[in-house]
Amino acid sequence: MKKRYSVFAIAKEAARHHLGWERAWAAPSPKPKYDAIIVGAGGHGLATAYYLGKNHGLRNVAILEKGWLGGGNTGRNTTIIRSNYLQDPSAAIYEKSRSLYETLSQDLNYNIMFSPRGVIMLAQTQAEIRGYQRTAHANALQGVKTEWIEPRRVKELCPIINLDGPRYPVLGGLYQARGGTARHDAVAWGYARACSDMGMDIIQQCEVTGVSTEAGKVTGVTTTKGDIACDKLGIVVAGHSSALADMAGFRLPIESVALQALVSEPIKPAMDVVIMANTVHGYMSQSDKGEMVIGGGTDGFNNYTQRGSFHHIEETVRALVETFPMISRLKMLRQWGGIVDMTGDRSPIISKTPVGGIFVNCGWGTGGFKAIPGSGWAMAELMAKGEPGPLAAEFTVDRFKVGKFIDESVAAGVAH
Ligand SMILES: Cc1cc2nc3c(=O)[nH]c(=O)nc-3n(C[C@H](O)[C@H](O)[C@H](O)COP(=O)(O)OP(=O)(O)OC[C@H]3O[C@@H](n4cnc5c(N)ncnc54)[C@H](O)[C@@H]3O)c2cc1C
């Protein structure tokens, strides 16, 4: 059992020169067999393992990661958390997730720095006004607290914004006051520590290179650290989902593309809300360090590059300078990319597969950081019971065969 983090623990460690902190998670070698293996130690994989243990008592679990935990999209995103989606199944799972974020630091005994500072999605065209007002009405029916706000209120909440942009003036916004941000790698680290504390094995630098089956059922995986047997397998690898599905002998309707982001040099506090400008395609918040965190679009072609192309930086910054003229004087510090897993309807897949005992969780695309706790909760229920619970029921892979899409692509515009 790990020692609890608390103000008393910090005081005690300060008194003995911080020599008593223990490792946050263990680094074990793989056992020959587990009840369940999760491939991918991103936020979704780790949260799945955590709720498998916490909600369903399944603890003989390994999480296999080819790189380092949280080194995929989980550690590369712009950390926007919101649940103002249009369709009912989406609002349900994203709101479950957002509400779990509210108390996640206490639940994990790890400060994930959840900051419900408010998210505004700007309406800059007449179509967006109609769209966001419709979403606000849908959210009211779904029990998700959002509101339509007028330009004056946008300016009050974000004084550095330019309401009268040359191309697209700000005409209002969809505001979710309890949306916000969290520290992305702390989310991964907090779940990892809690999983390790439950006796689960997190095995890093362990790439899954093959999936073994017998009579249509999973029996184990081949990895760079040897063969490991399992009764159940959860594939939670974001942009590499199609590659893992291929190893298991089925196909997924996923396209992998690079999505990129950048940060400026740190400046004094200038804005304490998250702004998303979907028409000009850019979004921005300020990190606790003071950097302006800026997100852009996806590359227009499939790739696995984890960096993104330069013209996108130019387009994103150009778009934002219209809305926030002050950023024209900022230096940009660094830029990076992640490989995101896109479905046609821009909604996730949490589903059984054609192979017995194999479950997939993917398709979160450009917006899955906010979904980590809710997705882990739903995926754990699916893996433990073999059938989806109410949160995951609509997100089956079969919806693409029968045409029962959960269309968030047009509704969301920028789906971060
Ligand atoms: C630039 C950018 C900005 C974003 N902004 C936001 C945002 O503001 N808000 C939001 O909600 N979402 C955002 N997202 C999306 C969000 O980051 C992802 O949806 C989410 O992090 C996906 O988490 P994951 O755990 O599924 O995937 P990942 O964190 O990518 O984890 C998957 C893991 O699987 C591992 N893996 C892959 N193949 C194998 C293998 N064969 N064997 C073992 N391990 C393997 C990978 O190494 C990786 O660590 C953004 C993404 C990017 C790239």
**Which CATH number does the domain housing residue 389 bear?**
3.50.50.60
Residue nearest to atom 53 of ligand 1 (CA): 338
DSSP string, 229-275: EEEEEEE--GGGHHHHHHHHT-----EEEEEEEEEEEE-S----SEE
Expressed in angstroms and rounded, the spacing between residue 51 Cα and the centre of ligand 1 is 19
pLDDT-derived band at 2, boundaries 50, 70, 90: confident
pLDDT digits (tens, 9 = 90+) for 119-139: 999 999 999 999 999 999 999
pLDDT-derived band at 311, boundaries 50, 70, 90: confident
Specify the CATH number for the domain of residue 133. 3.30.9.10
- pLDDT, position 416: 61
Q: Does a structural domain hold residue 401?
A: yes
Counting the structural domains of the chain, the total is 2
Last residue of a domain, one of 293, 309, 342: 342
Expressed in angstroms and rounded, the spacing between residue 274 Cα and the centre of ligand 1 is 21
- pLDDT, position 412: 53
- pLDDT, position 310: 82
Q: Tokens in use for 32? A: 């020959």
Q: Does a structural domain hold residue 19?
A: no
Ligand 1 pocket residue status of 312, Cβ below 6 Å: no
Same domain for 196 and 325, yes or no, is no
- pLDDT, position 238: 97
CA 339 to ligand 1: nearest atom? 53
- pLDDT, position 306: 85
Instruction: List phi, psi (to 5°) of 366.
Output: -90, 5
Ligand 1 pocket residue status of 184, Cβ below 6 Å: no
**Which of 90, 94, 306, 369 best tests ligand 1's pocket when mutated (most atoms within 8 Å of CB)?**
369
Residue 381 neighbours by CB distance under 10 Å: 22
Ligand 1 pocket residue status of 98, Cβ below 6 Å: no
- pLDDT, position 48: 98
pLDDT digits (tens, 9 = 90+) for 180-225: 999 999 999 999 999 999 999 999 999 999 999 999 999 999 999 9
- pLDDT, position 154: 98
Q: Give the residue, 278 or 266, on which the prediction is more confident.
A: 266
Task: Tell me the chain's radius of gyration from C-alpha atoms.
Answer: 21
Closest by CA to 254, choosing from 354, 348, 337, is: 348
Q: Does a structural domain hold residue 57?
A: yes
Question: How far apart, in whole angstroms, are the C-alpha atoms of residue 277 and residue 295?
Answer: 10
Write a three-state SS string for 157-198. HCCCCCCCCCCCCCCEEEEECCCEECCHHHHHHHHHHHHHHC
Expressed in angstroms and rounded, the spacing between residue 304 Cα and the centre of ligand 1 is 12
**pTM more than 0.95:** yes
pLDDT above 70: percentage of residues in the chain: 98
pLDDT-derived band at 377, boundaries 50, 70, 90: very high
pLDDT digits (tens, 9 = 90+) for 8-52: 999 999 999 999 999 999 999 999 999 999 999 999 999 999 999
pLDDT-derived band at 415, boundaries 50, 70, 90: low
Residue nearest to atom 18 of ligand 1 (CA): 368
Half-sphere exposure of 294 (CA within 13 A, CB side): 29
Last residue of a domain, one of 327, 342, 357: 342
Ligand 1 pocket residue status of 77, Cβ below 6 Å: yes
Question: How far apart, in whole angstroms, are the C-alpha atoms of residue 110 and residue 189?
Answer: 8
**What is the mean predicted confidence (pLDDT) over 391-406?**
96
Closest by CA to 347, choosing from 333, 362, 335, is: 362
Query: Do 69 and 192 contact (CB within 8 A), yes or no?
Result: yes
pLDDT-derived band at 333, boundaries 50, 70, 90: very high
∠ Cα 383 69 30 (to 5°): 65
Expressed in angstroms and rounded, the spacing between residue 180 Cα and the centre of ligand 1 is 19
Same domain for 313 and 363, yes or no, is no
Residue nearest to atom 49 of ligand 1 (CA): 72
DSSP string, 268-313: S----SEEEETTTTEEEEE-TTSEEEEEEEE-SS----SS--HHHH
Ligand 1 pocket residue status of 40, Cβ below 6 Å: yes
pLDDT-derived band at 314, boundaries 50, 70, 90: confident
- pLDDT, position 307: 82
Task: Give the structural domain span for 292.
Answer: 119-177+255-342
Query: Do 382 and 359 contact (CB within 8 A), yes or no?
Result: yes
Expressed in angstroms and rounded, the spacing between residue 144 Cα and the centre of ligand 1 is 26
Write a three-state SS string for 380-413. HHHHHHCCCCCCCCCCCCCHHHHCCCCCCHHHHC
Instruction: List phi, psi (to 5°) of 157.
Output: -75, -30
- pLDDT, position 411: 53
Same domain for 202 and 55, yes or no, is yes
Expressed in angstroms and rounded, the spacing between residue 223 Cα and the centre of ligand 1 is 20
